[in-house]
Structure 1
Amino acid sequence: MVTVTWATGVSLLQVVAATGCGLVAGLLFVFSAGVLTALGRLPADDGAVAMRAVNAAVLNPLFLGVFVGTAVVCAVLVVAVAVGGGPVTAAVAGVLYLVGVLGVTVAVNVPLNEALAAGRVGWADYRRRWGRWNHVRTTAATVALVLLVAA
């Protein structure tokens, strides 16, 4: 018979959160490491058109399920550690994902995507600002993953 304890629940949440953080960190890293550079080598109008296409295509159930699902699991993990105990580093990781990945996305990257789509921001400015904040998201997701694995 398998007994599920509070600690087992936290451990399971850690595994699921770590998996999600790893997937998100990898995707964000690809943008920081290559995609933005590649798009920056295109003529400005072509780069902007390509990025708008990427922004539209990424809004799909697979990506949103992992991205938002990881945020939900991280939030539940934070509450589980606060209420029932568990590794504090796991709760810190959850907060880091919520603030450094989800929060930055909602506060900075999505509004920049909307501004690009509406023509309210130039390609060079968009790429510089979006890229800088994507580095923050990449770092936050990666550090959250490391903390979850270490916990």
Structure 2
Amino acid sequence: MLPNHPWFFLLTLAAAVGSGLVAGVFFAFSTFVMKALARLSPAEGIRAMQQINIVVLNPAFLGVFMGTVVVAAGVVVAAVWHWQSPASLYIIAGSLLYIVGTFGVTIAGNVPLNDALAKVNPDDAEGQRIWSDYLRRWTWWNHVRTAAAASAMMLLVVGIAA
């Protein structure tokens, strides 16, 4: 049986809500932001994405993005400790999916691409070549982390309800 404490419920709920919020942000990028940037000239698209990558590093987004990692890790520990509950499997799976599939993919996939784009001169031919590759690769990784965050949210909700 999972701990019957309000804090456990609230932490699991916070992890689910955080996963959902992050999934929504990433979904927006996958479905229309990157498509809009691709319609701009390469130089304009590069400049816009370079600015997005600076502005996204703010307390509101990072608080939800990183806070969900911390909360999910805590929920995993509690759920593992009480693994015999059927709900624990959903909570562990959802939490790990967020940590690995959303945070891990961001660190291993999207951040290196963002770091490389930050060094690009939007006005030269090499920058424009990199931009084309960036759009394709960054968006693919973003689809992965969108699906991971949305799936994590669903699993956490099922775990709460179980």
Q: 1:81-138 deviations in whole A, cap 9, x for unaligned?
A: 0113452101100000000000000111011000001127711100100000000000
Q: 1:39-64 deviations in whole A, cap 9, x for unaligned?
A: 00000010010001000000011110
User: In 2, are the aligned partners of 1:90 and 1:148 still within 8 Å (CA)?
Assistant: yes
Moved over 3 A (4+): none
Alignment correspondent of 2:30:
32
- What does 1:75-94 align with in structure 2 at a 5 Å threshold? 75-85=73-83, 86=85, 87=87, 88-94=89-95
Tell me the TM-score normalised to structure 2 length.
0.87
1:139 aligns with 2:147: yes
- Deviation of 1:7 after TM superposition, in Å, equals 2.8
Aligned identity (percent) is 50
Counterpart secondary structure, 1:89: helix
Alignment correspondent of 1:72:
70
Q: Using the alignment, how far apart are the partners of 2:118 and 2:4 within structure 1?
A: 46
Q: Which amino acid aligns with 2:150?
A: T
Tell me the TM-score normalised to structure 1 length.
0.93
Please list every run of 5 or more consecutive structure 1 residues that lacks an aligned counterpart in the other structure: none
Q: Using the alignment, how far apart are the partners of 1:84 and 1:10 within structure 2?
A: 12
Give the aligned length.
147
Structure 2 residue aligned with 1:148, among 142, 148, 156?
156
Please list every run of 5 or more consecutive structure 2 residues that lacks an aligned counterpart in the other structure: 121-126
**Is 114-123 or 55-64 further displaced after alignment?**
114-123
